Amino acid sequence: SMCFDHYFTLGPSSRKILKKRMGKTINSFYSTSIFKKNNNSLKKKINKNKLKCLVIDFNSVEEKKWYSNGRTFVNWKANFNFYHNIFSLSKQYPNISFLIKSKNYLWVKNNYFKNLVKVLNKQKNIKILNNQKKWTPEYSLKYADFAIARYSSLSDQMLYLNKPVLIFNYDGYPGLIYDFGNKILINNFNQLKNKVSLIENNYFKYNKSLEHVRGELFYYPTKKNSIKHLLIYFDNKLKK
C-alpha cells in the first residue's frame, strides 16, 4: 500500500470516500478546485433551438489487440452499442448536434466499426471530432452545451463547468462506485431519450436540478482552496 503526506481532493464526496478507505495512509487532506466556471457567459451562449452535445466514449484498443479487447468491459461491443444509441438519438433530435469526442480514433479504422462509421458519417447532425489539434478537450468542453458520456474525467469537467451531463451506467459502472443520481445516470435508451427531451425543452431548469450533485462532488474556487494559495502554503512549509 502507498502512504502520502499530502492529498488533494476536488469535492466533499471524494474526500469522504478517501478518508474512509485510505485515512490511515494519508497525513493531510487539502480541498482544491479545478478552475472557475462562468455562469453568465453560459446564459449568453446557449441556443435552445440548436444544442450541441459532446459525446464522450471509452477507449477502443487497436484491431490487432482483439484478444485483450474480449477480456475487458471497455470493449468494442460496448462502444458499438454506445455509438448506435447516439445514432438512434440523432434521428429523433435533428436540431441537436452530436459531437463524438474519443480518447483515440483507432476505432474509426477498425473493421468491427466499419459499417457503423459509414452510417455515422452520413448522418448530418453527427460529427466525429478526429481533428485532435482543433478539438482539444478544453475546446470541446467550451464548445458543447451538454454531454452524453461513458464516465471519464472529461464528463466530470463538463459537470463542473455548469453544463448537464448524462452518464451511461454500463454494467453498474460508475453507479456502484458513486451514485450520481437519476438525473445523471442512464440505464437504458428510453431513459436517455427522456432526459435529452427534458434538456431540449428546458435546458436551464434541468441544469439547475444538478446543483445538489455538483455541491457534493466539487469544491468551487475560494481564496483558501485556490491553486495560488496552496502553492504559497507549500512553499512556506518547504522554507522552514
Walk along the chain (240 residues) and give the pLDDT tens digit of each residue: 566 665 556 556 555 665 666 666 666 665 655 555 554 445 556 666 699 999 999 877 666 665 565 566 668 788 999 999 999 999 999 999 999 999 889 899 999 999 999 999 999 999 999 999 999 999 999 999 999 999 988 998 899 899 999 999 987 888 787 788 899 999 999 999 999 999 999 999 999 999 988 888 775 555 554 545 545 554 565 565
The whole-number pLDDT of residue 227 equals 47
The whole-number pLDDT of residue 27 equals 62
Backbone angles phi, psi at 48, to 5 degrees: -65, -15
The whole-number pLDDT of residue 172 equals 82
The whole-angstrom separation of Cα 1 and Cα 111 is 42
The whole-angstrom separation of Cα 129 and Cα 202 is 27
The whole-number pLDDT of residue 17 equals 60
**pTM, rounded to two decimals:** 0.76
CA 176 distance to own-chain centroid: 17
The whole-angstrom separation of Cα 5 and Cα 28 is 6
The whole-number pLDDT of residue 8 equals 59
Where in the chain does DSSP place strands (E)?
4-9, 26-31, 52-56, 97-101, 126-128, 146-150, 165-168, 185-186
Beta-bridge mates of residue 9: 31
